[in-house]
Structure 1
């Protein structure tokens, strides 16, 4: 078994293990804490799920680094060596509101580049994965949408805009509605990116700084499914870029123009 194949197997096993912890506590009486703001919430389920993911990975890769949203793990992807990027419950605001759209996300990264990923949505029963050969939903190969007409496209703003940036949030809604057939917002970045990968959405966009646990796994899936992911300049997206524009490829220029329009509002406010 090659190293990439081994990491792909472990990434799915670890994500499933963490998702089982999250699902066990879902719609139960759990304590909710706030971190950086009123809507930046965390639960003990987040921490327990992350620990389970790390325990599962360490059974096979005991010395690898971890990048995780919770506790004292790294907060940036290292440029060299292997690492695992974890979001134990992406969409915690959905989770604490008893909304089923949340995911346990794990990506295996080597020298800063993802080689395998898994997003497990336990309450919805979907498992999205990607490896060196492609992207999959529930074990079946998926590919991005072939919709090339913006008026037929459904796109999503993703990665939340804070209370001090609501003009950009409003601009995101306005410019996407003006340019595309419809708009969705799911409150879970990894679920949204997974839906771009499987063709349910034509694109997703934000102009904010992106945490690696919100993005890396889904970006790998989209690329392996034939899609395009760039920064706001149209260059290949990397884990330390500001902004993210993900699409089926056919609509990328239109989505990139929308992202730049959102960012103009940011620039006007500075």
Structure 2
């Protein structure tokens, strides 16, 4: 069952990514939702519809959790569901920056069975079922670095304008502990990079939407990493914050996350 869902997830993510990529760097109109930086395009809606069409071909009765339109906004505790983000990183997309992803995860009774993140503008496809994680068909694993002073860590998930002091504390906590900091503007890309060893960690104290996290969290865990909330408990949809690492110094990455709320 899980392998079937892996293949469906990959097919759906690739199909949605193809729709989004066709609109990338075409001067598409940009709309705002809840704020100046909460943007959406017709490409988001079209790509989500395409993802759902592919899923419905084989799983017509499953629930769908999606960022756009009237889909569910939380993961059901029981039953089968698909968690999708047609364009994670829309702010990058509308700026013609190639770091964005089409994300699809299959869950059952709250547990993730399959995860696929397609980054079409970069040519990367990350896939995981109940076995290894692959990128473009090659097996991937988390970074083997053990010294935090060699780590690259990301403050991920955007802090609103009324939370910029927390963003500043997140940056300070990272630069005081680790070798360097990155900021990509796409949570699914970041989690994919942790899973494939390009980064050692990612932190936020923001409560993360499932479409920004579920697929990437599964990739990190299947690749040998650790994902918790800011309290150090196992992350699940609805947890407070998200802390991902290669597992070699998770306590230090967790310290950085906790410092965000230290004031």
Tell me the SS of whatever aligns to 2:235.
coil
**Which residue is 2:128 aligned to?**
130
Q: Among residues 140, 160, 163, which one is paired with 2:161 in the alignment?
A: 163
Matches within 5 A, 1:8-87: 8-87=6-85
The C-alpha deviation readout for 1:225-244, integer Å capped at 9, x for no partner, is 00000011111100110100
* Partner in structure 1 of residue 144 of structure 2: 146
Structure 2 CA distance for aligned equivalents of residues 142 and 52 of structure 1:
28
- Residue aligning to 1:206: 204
Give the equivalent residue in structure 1 for 2:230: 232
User: Which residue in the other structure is 1:89 paired with?
Assistant: 87
> Given the two structures, how large is their TM-score scaled by the length of structure 2?
0.99
Superposed CA deviations along residues 51-95 of structure 1, whole A, max 9, x for unmatched, are 000000000001100000000000000000000000000000000
Contact 1:23 1:122 in 2 (8 A): yes
Q: Work out the CA distance in 2 between the residues paired with 1:186 and 1:251.
A: 22
1:219-260 per-residue CA deviation (whole Å, 9 max, x = no partner) reads: 000000000000111111001101000000012000000100
Quote the Cα distance in structure 2 between the aligned partners of 1:198 and 1:43: 30
Partner-residue secondary structure (3-state), 1:242: coil
* Distance across 2 between alignment mates of 1:256 and 1:29: 40
User: Within 1, Cα distance between the matches of 2:90 and 2:33?
Assistant: 12
* Alignment correspondent of 2:249: 251
TM-fit CA distance, 1:19:
0.2
1:182 paired to 2:180: yes
DSSP 3-state at the match of 1:59:
helix
Q: Distance in 2 between matches of 1:134 and 1:240?
A: 26
Secondary structure of the corresponding residue to residue 74 of structure 1: coil
What is the TM-score when the length of structure 1 is the normalising length? 0.97
Match runs of 1:97-136 below 5 Å: 97-136=95-134
Secondary structure at the residue paired with 2:81?
strand
C-alpha distance in 2 between matches for 1:152 and 1:166? 27
- Displacement of 1:29 after TM fit? 2.0
Name the Cα RMSD after superposition. Answer: 0.5
Unaligned 5+ residue runs, structure 2?
A: none
